[in-house]
Amino acid sequence: MNPDETLLAVTQQLLHVTEPEQAMGLRHNGVMPSVEAIREMMTLITGVIFPGFFDRETVTARMRQYRIGMDVERIYGILKQQIGRAVVFCEHCDAAKSQAAAHDMAVRFVALLPEVRRLLLTDVEAMAQSDPAVASHVEVVYSYPVVRVMTHYRVAHALHTLGVPLIARIITEMAHSDTGIDIHPGAQIGEYFSIDHGTGVVIGATTIIGNHVTLYQGVTLGARNFVRDENGVPVDVPRHPILEDRVVVYSNASILGRIRIGHDSVIGGNVWVTHDVPPHSRVQQGKLIELPHFTDGAGI
Amino acid sequence: MNPDETLLAVTQQLLHVTEPEQAMGLRHNGVMPSVEAIREMMTLITGVIFPGFFDRETVTARMRQYRIGMDVERIYGILKQQIGRAVVFCEHCDAAKSQAAAHDMAVRFVALLPEVRRLLLTDVEAMAQSDPAVASHVEVVYSYPVVRVMTHYRVAHALHTLGVPLIARIITEMAHSDTGIDIHPGAQIGEYFSIDHGTGVVIGATTIIGNHVTLYQGVTLGARNFVRDENGVPVDVPRHPILEDRVVVYSNASILGRIRIGHDSVIGGNVWVTHDVPPHSRVQQGKLIELPHFTDGAGI
Amino acid sequence: MNPDETLLAVTQQLLHVTEPEQAMGLRHNGVMPSVEAIREMMTLITGVIFPGFFDRETVTARMRQYRIGMDVERIYGILKQQIGRAVVFCEHCDAAKSQAAAHDMAVRFVALLPEVRRLLLTDVEAMAQSDPAVASHVEVVYSYPVVRVMTHYRVAHALHTLGVPLIARIITEMAHSDTGIDIHPGAQIGEYFSIDHGTGVVIGATTIIGNHVTLYQGVTLGARNFVRDENGVPVDVPRHPILEDRVVVYSNASILGRIRIGHDSVIGGNVWVTHDVPPHSRVQQGKLIELPHFTDGAGI
Amino acid sequence: MNPDETLLAVTQQLLHVTEPEQAMGLRHNGVMPSVEAIREMMTLITGVIFPGFFDRETVTARMRQYRIGMDVERIYGILKQQIGRAVVFCEHCDAAKSQAAAHDMAVRFVALLPEVRRLLLTDVEAMAQSDPAVASHVEVVYSYPVVRVMTHYRVAHALHTLGVPLIARIITEMAHSDTGIDIHPGAQIGEYFSIDHGTGVVIGATTIIGNHVTLYQGVTLGARNFVRDENGVPVDVPRHPILEDRVVVYSNASILGRIRIGHDSVIGGNVWVTHDVPPHSRVQQGKLIELPHFTDGAGI
Amino acid sequence: MNPDETLLAVTQQLLHVTEPEQAMGLRHNGVMPSVEAIREMMTLITGVIFPGFFDRETVTARMRQYRIGMDVERIYGILKQQIGRAVVFCEHCDAAKSQAAAHDMAVRFVALLPEVRRLLLTDVEAMAQSDPAVASHVEVVYSYPVVRVMTHYRVAHALHTLGVPLIARIITEMAHSDTGIDIHPGAQIGEYFSIDHGTGVVIGATTIIGNHVTLYQGVTLGARNFVRDENGVPVDVPRHPILEDRVVVYSNASILGRIRIGHDSVIGGNVWVTHDVPPHSRVQQGKLIELPHFTDGAGI
Amino acid sequence: MNPDETLLAVTQQLLHVTEPEQAMGLRHNGVMPSVEAIREMMTLITGVIFPGFFDRETVTARMRQYRIGMDVERIYGILKQQIGRAVVFCEHCDAAKSQAAAHDMAVRFVALLPEVRRLLLTDVEAMAQSDPAVASHVEVVYSYPVVRVMTHYRVAHALHTLGVPLIARIITEMAHSDTGIDIHPGAQIGEYFSIDHGTGVVIGATTIIGNHVTLYQGVTLGARNFVRDENGVPVDVPRHPILEDRVVVYSNASILGRIRIGHDSVIGGNVWVTHDVPPHSRVQQGKLIELPHFTDGAGI
């Protein structure tokens, strides 16, 4: 192939906006939200909530006061700009009004930061209490993915509630990529929440979780099936479980549908739950645990 | 220990090429493929396919025409160079010939970019149709890992087919690291493919997937066992499943071996399938769903 | 809201050290370990162990000798500094003594690098032997996540043994984030260890693994339950499994508690094992594999 | 001194806007012009005028077309933004009107770029003709400071004329810092202008220079004295020389005041000229050249 | 030549510390002052003295308070570190004592910053008063080299006085490189000092300059000859001129030796002064100005 | 103006290669020498010649051995590449042959580095001996522009002699920009050469300078007039002065034409010399020094 012709032709083809792109609204003329800017904002938020842990340069105690002040300003500045870009893509939003409100929404978000910090500290405490391998709370902040994912979730949930769903989703997906834990920003999660290991955990958009709940890796809090409208389009109704206070769910368990797991229940590993569970229950997989089949035969 | 002596000794030991390194061919004198360059190429490809979404700087509509042209040139330039470095490691390739053909292979790849884009747009559409939490196609591109993993897979599959398997594998592993979804570049995947959440999904090298197929997190499309040659070395024969059109596989299901899942079938969560399944089937785990064991006893 | 007042107030609130932060010891006046510096050290270690694979710039064979020497020095320099920062957070360490010993520990670690390399080369060899899709050992180093995770684990285990548990945990969590494989630095793992795909694998702190062991994605080597002291605090006792030589564990299997899996055993996919298994056993999930339930009914 | 107190006190003092700062208008609340952005714009302009000479990365001929298009867009984008910031500081400008006109002024400037290039090529030609050490025109572009200073001057003069004097001055001062040649953007300079070596050359704001004029290092085209108004403030009237076509001025000569140097004249090195000089003159320092004083005495 | 041998041999030769290097004390085992760190400190100092002019990113008025506080901390931190490195090279310093005093010297320097700012504002005012081409004080700060060189000189003079001569010299040489104006940090310069154009100006180490003094480009305030000791080594005695208040020195004039130029005097361009000048004098070059030699002959 | 049309039109105009560009050979299809790469090479050379002075990061004595070896390799690598690009522009070179010889020329250059270092150390020594303000040789290396300019000149002269004049000129112009000292790479300069202050110094291409020569700021060693061929093109013949050993030239003196300044002579400041000067002479400006004209009249 002749590169001169091919590359020119490919460029022309890629410049051409195809019908599906048009139909899906993927070619937008304005400036779109910047994933990189949002990532920088999350780095700043993590820094003001856990000062000292993630500094790139040496920051003395005297400098801390200025640093936090400046970072709060930067968080506000980035968010205001990104909200202004994102509201355009919010179907349910009154864009004109939201655009005007971007400034206000950014201030409201910043005002929530101390509460976000308070909640995250309960998560750190919960994690430290639930893993015998933990040596210190400092270790939890440095090396437990739940801290990273919950920082992102709690920020994203605040933004989701304030009416910036697109940015909220970008933020939780960042944490999903880093930790393998996928929490939808619409989920409601109480205090003292912990997840150990966590890879493969999925928490759906309408999930409600109480206080002092603990999950392990691979747990799915998912939908059992979808309600579709007359056009076959899935409808966004409550379809994920409710976990009451002090529930523990062991690894790879799946809890599906708008069911309620009563407080102080324990869901065993690998089980598949699709009905309500009363308080103080213990659900387990039974025979498969007790009676593994030992064979000497060939092939598995 | 004396650092002067120790560090000098360690340096000497590390400089020494050990017998296993030699035997495995890990010390190569020439310049090897650069993961960083390949990553840059993937960033450029993502940018020309989804213009506006991942720009670092403001790019106006007028600039777009130049930007896409320049990025297509850069993609070509990086790929040509990396293919030239990679063919050396291709056992089944005629290196001398391939080296000469690096230029041609890079042009051929670039010529496929519009088709890669077309396929990816069907994946975006499929994802938007299958999740009730989706607010817009823009949200899908920004925050669904399937878009990222399929961009990498579809590029890697094109390179695999063109005869650059090492670079193809480096590319899919990048996406595996980011998304927890591990698709081998040799797999064949049709249009309108979607994966929700996705962490833990594995799609093996000889898998064949039709159109309009949907997977959920933790699904394995794997091998059941290996054929080994007389020396005990595993042989690369078709050993992964075939999924026909409109198959849905729910979370954590395992479909193993060269079996065929007939079109319009649904494989339920957590099931383990090792035999063919006829069209329009529904496979589920039965009792465990219907009859969880509730107990109040101690220990799980 | 008035941004002037709000941002000032939020800054003051965030500057205020809350009681939980105080109680958990999260506000530390000195300089804390730098995740970024530790990441740089891991990049350097990866570079001296697999020279040529991850170079950013062209490095000729003549330059290699200088490059490895310099990188060994840098590894030593970073580690010495980070140990000095980390020992403060080690509850069981004699900080004063350890501080003085930071220099010595860093030298001891560097002296272990050739052995770390030797072990990693056995892992590369094992991986190449166990996957029919592998084309060359070079491909394994470039694109199998097990190489990345084992480089981090083997370094972290050395540091854990030398008495720097916090840095060790930060290192394994880096690999967990990249690969979805979570290996605690305290685990003991023999030679020729391989993990294919790997997303979701968890290997607990007191696990003991022999030689020539192979795992697949989603395998948990976990604890069954915790021993707690009189205050309800979990105690760090042996609670994870022992896998003897030549054990294979297929995808999503869970092996829980201080049990022993005898040598040359095969644990099938998705099984849940909580009792000892004698040598040469084959454990599998039985009926679910053989008898999937086919139905034509609605819902899954 | 106590650093805690001192640094806090100094910060407070520096935050306080002193009376002179207030009086001089140095504390401005809005965003001010960015020297760094203007520097980037000059780098882009230099690149589109002399393509290939100052590329950081390899740019193929095919890429050139996109690159120039994109860089022209960037030049326009930066300039529009910087003009918007700068007009605030223009005392003689109708700021409101100019702000609205920033867009238009940036377009007008870009439209002048081809003429700027034409003029600069005459300067390159002139330089190549006047120095026997020149090997090629390529060498002139790469290594003669006159090219750098004239690129900056010709751009700055265009901006000065369009009504953006502050940005124009920032640009010529950049070149002054790099080359030691200080040309005011208000000066008028014809075609085929060359300066050899150039360090120390000063060309004042109301200077008028014809075509084919050559200067050497240390030449001053300055004012002889100032006209001041009733308040003693210097008045900006024509006060620098007029050099007609084909004038040559040798090193360290000073030509001062609103005088006219007739065409085809030669001004010798080190002379001091404060009166008109008719065409075809040769002005030299006479005796000092012919009769140096030789002595054997001590001291100089 | 064989590159393998040559490069190895050259490396060995360069590693070898030659006798002159040894004798001159150029191979120092410890860490030496970092020009780059000092440059960063000067950027920070310039930023706190002229806030808003040289910001790279947008800094709002609210952020200013934090920014200045943090930058003052950084200035202190860099300086303390660099003084600690530099005192080793100060022959006349009691290194041990100075090392201990590095902390104190850095605090003392920071305490001088408000006074440095006050003096620089007088220089800006003086420059604005003396050039008819100036449109605003803002233009002076942005584009007159005297502001840059005096910021460096006034900082360097403070450090010189506090006893850190090496860092002081590095700082003035930075400004010399940028502006062509070479002021020794030991010189004493009063308020309201201005230099127009400035390239080639030299102000020697023992120069004393009063208030409201103005210089033009190429002015030398130098030594006439050196006093040498019995070994022929030049001795550092007062050897540069004293300029009293309100002296103006026009371009390229040389004032040499420990002479006194009386207040309110004007030294004309290009003159060479080696004797005292009484107050209110006007010194000029006379005939050469009045009677240029016009000739029509060949050659210059 | 319409920006859409204007920017498109300007891009087209700039893409068009005009006749003068064509005639001057300024549009070159291949890759041209990179000023940035050459600058990096000079940074590396400065680093191996004055180890420790300009390190960006901490380099221990143990690391030095590796660092110098690696940097020598890098110097060689950059130079080989840049020579390959530059020979195309050498009119007097046999490009084909030179291209083949690029490798050899780069080796030859590296082999000269120890001699370049030896010569530079004599320059440092000379500078330290001639300025009473010098506190240590360390100060000279850090802060005297002569060290910077002579490092560039001595490297450039070596390259000029080896037959790479274009790169040589780019290098000396870098130093000219930094220091205001313009030395042509063709000039021949002996040992123990020093320049104080230096701004404005010009040393022409055919200048010959002996040992132990000292210059001050503003000195021109230039041509008096040009020999032109029948086409009026200046011819590159010996036209600059010869300075024998131990000559001192004070500030702003001009020595012009192919004249000889005898050994041990002193040329006073501001003088203009165009004839031979015998050994042991002292040339000075006489009356102007002794008899300044004092007046009280108006004007200067």
> For F193-213, what is the mean pLDDT?
98
Query: Quick check: helix, strand or coil at residue B38?
Result: helix
**Residue F273's beta-bridge partner residues?**
F255
pLDDT of C182: 98
Residues E221-245, mean pLDDT to the nearest whole number: 87
Q: Rounded to an integer, what distance in angstroms lies between the CA atom of residue A115 and that of residue A121?
A: 10
Better-predicted residue by pLDDT, C263 or E88: C263
Question: What subunits make at least 3 CB pairs under 8 angstroms with F?
Answer: B, C, D, E
Distance of alpha carbon C248 from alpha carbon C193, whole angstroms: 10
pLDDT value for F93: 64
Distance CA A185, CA E166 (A): 57
DSSP H/E element including D294: strand D293-295
Confidence of residue B131 (pLDDT cuts 50, 70, 90): confident
Cα dist from D299 to C177, C242, E275, F126, F284, whole Å: 76, 93, 14, 20, 10
Name subunits touching A (3+ CB pairs < 8 A). Answer: B, C, D, E
| Residue A17: burial class (beta carbons within 10 Å; 0-12, 13-18, 19+) | exposed
- Option in F65, F72, F139 nearest E10 (CB): F72
Q: Report which of residues C58 and C283 the model is more confident about.
A: C283
pLDDT at B234 over 90: no
Highest mean pLDDT among D32-41, D282-291, E3-12: D32-41
pLDDT at F292 over 50: no
C214 pairs with which residues across the strands? Answer: C194, C248
Q: Is the dihedral of CA C91, C92, C95, C96 positive or negative?
A: positive
Chain F residue nearest residue B60, CA to CA: F4
**What is the predicted pLDDT for the residue at B169?**
97
Q: Is CATH 2.160.10.10 what the domain over D187-227+235-300 is classified as, yes or no?
A: yes
Residue of E nearest to F59 (CA): E31
Q: pLDDT, tens digit, for every residue of E70-111?
A: 999 999 999 999 999 998 776 666 666 666 788 899 999 999
Model confidence at D225, pLDDT cuts 50, 70, 90, reads confident
Looking at the partner chain, which of B3, B4, B62 has a beta carbon nearest the beta carbon of F4?
A: B62
Q: With bands split at pLDDT 50, 70 and 90, how would you rate the model's confidence at C196?
A: very high
pLDDT of residue A299: 29
Residue E295 has pLDDT above 50, yes or no: no
pLDDT of B285: 64
Query: Residue A258 corresponds to which amino acid?
Result: R
Q: What type of residue sits at position F166?
A: L
Nearest to E185 by CA among E200, E201, E167, E197: E167
User: Given pLDDT bands bounded at 50, 70 and 90, which one contains residue F296?
Assistant: very low
Q: Is F70 within 8 Å of C70 (Cβ atoms)?
A: yes
| Average pLDDT of chain C to the nearest whole number | 89
Residues in chain E: 300
Terminal-to-terminal C-alpha distance of chain C? 49
Assess D115–B contact: CB distance below 8 Å, yes or no.
no
Question: Residues of B with CB below 8 A from A274's CB?
Answer: 289
Q: Which residue has the tokens 């990441």?
A: C39
Percentage of chain D exceeding pLDDT 90: 71
Q: Kindly state whether A275 is in contact with chain B, defined as any CB-CB distance less than 8 angstroms.
A: yes
pLDDT per residue over D24-54, tens digit each?
Answer: 999 887 889 999 999 999 999 999 999 999 8
Q: Which chain A residues touch D3 with a CB distance below 8 Å?
A: 62
pTM surpassing 0.90? yes
pLDDT of residue A295: 36
User: For residues B222 and B206, is the Cβ–Cβ distance under 8 A?
Assistant: no
Which amino acid would we find at residue A277?
V
Tell if the CB–CB gap between B251 and A250 is shorter than 8 Å.
no
Nearest to B111 among A1, A220, A273 (CB): A1
Report the gap between the CA of C60 and the closest CA in chain E (Å). 11
Each residue's pLDDT tens digit, E104-161 = 999 999 999 999 999 999 999 999 998 888 889 999 999 999 999 999 999 999 999 9
Picking from A65, A261, A34, the residue whose alpha carbon sits closest to that of residue A170 is A34
Strand order in the sheet with C220-222: C182-183, C202-203, C220-222, C254-256, C272-273
In a mutational test of the E interface, the residue from A73, A75, A78, A79 whose CB has the highest number of chain E CBs within 10 Å is A73
Q: Are the CB atoms for E49 and E117 separated by under 8 Å?
A: yes
User: Could you tell me the end-to-end alpha-carbon distance of chain F, in angstroms, rounded to an integer?
Assistant: 49
Paired tokens of D5: 């107190």
Interface with B, mutate which of F6, F10, F14, F62 (most B CBs under 10 A): F62
What is the number of residues in chain D?
A: 300
Taking the Cβ of residue C80 and every Cβ of chain F, the question of whether any pair is shorter than 8 Å is answered with no
CATH 1.10.3130.10 fits B28-180, yes or no: yes
- Helices B61-86 and B95-130: crossing angle in degrees, nearest 10, is 130
The first and second tokens of residue F175, run together, are 């130093």
Task: Identify the chains in contact with C, defined as 3+ C-beta pairs within 8 A.
Answer: A, B, E, F
- Shortest CA gap B53–chain D (Å): 18
How far is residue F216's CA from residue F96's CA, in Å, rounded to a whole number?
A: 43
Residue F204 pLDDT class (50, 70, 90 cuts): very high
| pLDDT, position B294 | 38
CATH superfamily of the F23-180 domain: serine acetyltransferase, domain 1 (1.10.3130.10)
Instruction: Specify the residue for token string 């004396």.
Output: B2
E225–D299 CB contact, under 8 Å: yes
D123 torsion bin: left (phi>0), alpha (psi -120 to 50), beta (else): alpha
Confidence of residue B41 (pLDDT cuts 50, 70, 90): very high
Say how far apart CA F77 and CA D225 lie, in whole Å.
Answer: 56
Window 119-148 of B, Cβ < 8 Å to F: none
CATH 3.40.50.2300 corresponds to the domain F200-300: no
**What does the alpha-carbon distance between residue F70 and residue F52 come to, in Å, rounded to a whole number?**
15
Architecture of domain A26-180: Orthogonal Bundle (1.10)
Distance from the Cα of residue E47 to its chain's centroid:
18
Task: Return residues 16-75 of E near F (CB < 8 Å).
Answer: 18, 20-21, 24-29, 31-36
Residue with the larger pLDDT of the pair A61 and C48: C48
The whole-number average pLDDT for the span D122-128 is 97
B295 touches chain D (CB under 8 A): no
Backbone angles phi, psi at B80, to 5 degrees: -55, -45
What residue spans of chain E are helical by DSSP H?
3-15, 19-24, 35-49, 61-86, 95-130, 137-143, 145-162, 165-179, 287-290
Say if residues A112 and A67 touch (Cβ distance below 8 Å): no
The answer to whether the CB of E26 falls within 8 A of the CB of F117 is no
The candidate with the shortest Cα–Cα distance to C61, out of A25, A8, E85, B27, is B27
Give the chain F residue nearest D179 (alpha carbons): F177
pLDDT tens-place string over residues F69-119: 999 999 999 999 999 999 877 766 666 666 678 889 999 999 999 999 999
C70–F66 CB contact, under 8 Å: yes
Measure CB to CB from residue E70 to each of A58, A63, A77 and give the nearest one.
A63
Which pLDDT value is given to residue F234?
74
pLDDT at A94: 65
Residue D108 clears pLDDT 50, i.e. is over it: yes
In sequence order, what DSSP letters do the residues of B110-154 get, joined into one string?
A: HHHHHHHHHHHHHHHHHHHHH-TT---HHHHHHH-HHHHHHHHHH
Judged by DSSP in three states, C50 sits in coil
Contact state of D14 with E113 under an 8 Å Cβ cutoff: yes
Hunting for tokens 């999937």 — which residue is that? Answer: C292
Q: What is the mean pLDDT of residues F165-175?
A: 97
Cβ–Cβ of E69/A73 closer than 8 Å? Answer: no
Q: Does B286 touch chain A (CB under 8 A)?
A: no
Digit-by-digit pLDDT tens for chain A (300 residues) are 677 889 999 999 999 999 999 999 998 878 899 999 999 999 999 999 999 998 867 777 788 889 999 999 999 999 999 999 998 777 666 666 666 788 899 999 999 999 999 999 999 999 999 888 888 999 999 999 999 999 999 999 999 999 999 999 999 999 999 999 999 999 999 999 999 999 999 999 999 999 999 999 999 999 987 777 887 777 889 999 999 999 999 999 999 999 999 999 999 998 889 999 999 999 986 433 332 333 333 222
Are D150 and D123 in contact, with CB atoms under 8 Å apart? yes
Residue F10: φ, ψ to 5° = -65, -40
Task: Give the position of tokens 């609340």.
Answer: D29
Angle at F156 between CA F150 and CA F161, to 5 degrees: 125
Q: Is A272 on the interface with C (CB under 8 A)?
A: no
**Nearest to F170, CA basis, from A19, E281, D136, A140:** D136
Residue in the structure block whose two tokens are 């984030």: C177
Out of A3, A4, A62, the one facing D4 most closely (by C-beta) is: A62
Give the helix/strand (H/E) hosting B6.
helix B3-15
In chain C, residues with a C-beta closer than 8 Å to the C-beta of F60 are 73, 77
Residue contact B69–A11, C-beta within 8 A: yes
Q: How confident is the model at residue B170 (pLDDT cuts 50, 70, 90)?
A: very high
Closest chain A residue to the Cα of D8, Cα to Cα: A62
Helical residues (DSSP H) of D87-235, grouped into ranges: 95-130, 137-143, 145-162, 165-179
Matching CATH topology for C23-180 and C200-300? no
Residue D299 is predicted with a pLDDT of 29
Tell me how crowded residue F100 is: count the other CB atoms within 10 A of its CB: 12
List CB contacts (< 8 A) between D249 and chain E.
none
If residue B214 lies in a helix (H) or strand (E), which one and from where to where?
Answer: strand B214-216
Cross-chain CB nearest to B165 (options C135, C217, C294)? C135
Instruction: Determine the pLDDT at residue B95.
Output: 60
What CA–CA distance (Å, rounded) separates C77 from D277?
71
User: At residue B212, what are phi and psi to the nearest 5 degrees?
Assistant: 60, 40
Residues C207-233 have a mean pLDDT of 90
Domain ranges for chain C: 23-180, 200-300
Cβ proximity of D227 and D244 under 8 Å:
no
What CATH class does D29-180 carry? mainly alpha
Q: Is the sign of the CA dihedral B218, B222, B225, B229 positive or negative?
A: negative
Residue B295, pLDDT score: 36
Say yes or no to pLDDT of B288 above 80: no
Which candidate, C12, C16, C1, C11, places its Cα nearest to that of A73? C11
Token duo for residue A173? 């997906």
- Is there a contact between B66 and D73 if contact means CB atoms under 8 Å apart? yes
Nearest to D8 by CA among A52, E103, E111, A67: E111
> Which of F250, F256, F284 is nearest residue D293 as measured by Cβ atoms?
F284
- pLDDT top residue among D1 and B194: B194
Name the residue facing D289 among F10, F272, F286 (closest C-beta): F272
User: Residue E49: which of E126, E114, E105 has the closest Cα?
Assistant: E114
How big is chain A, counted in residues? 300
Adjacency order of strands within the sheet including E242-243 = E188-189, E208-209, E242-243, E260-261
Cβ–Cβ < 8 Å for D112, D158: yes
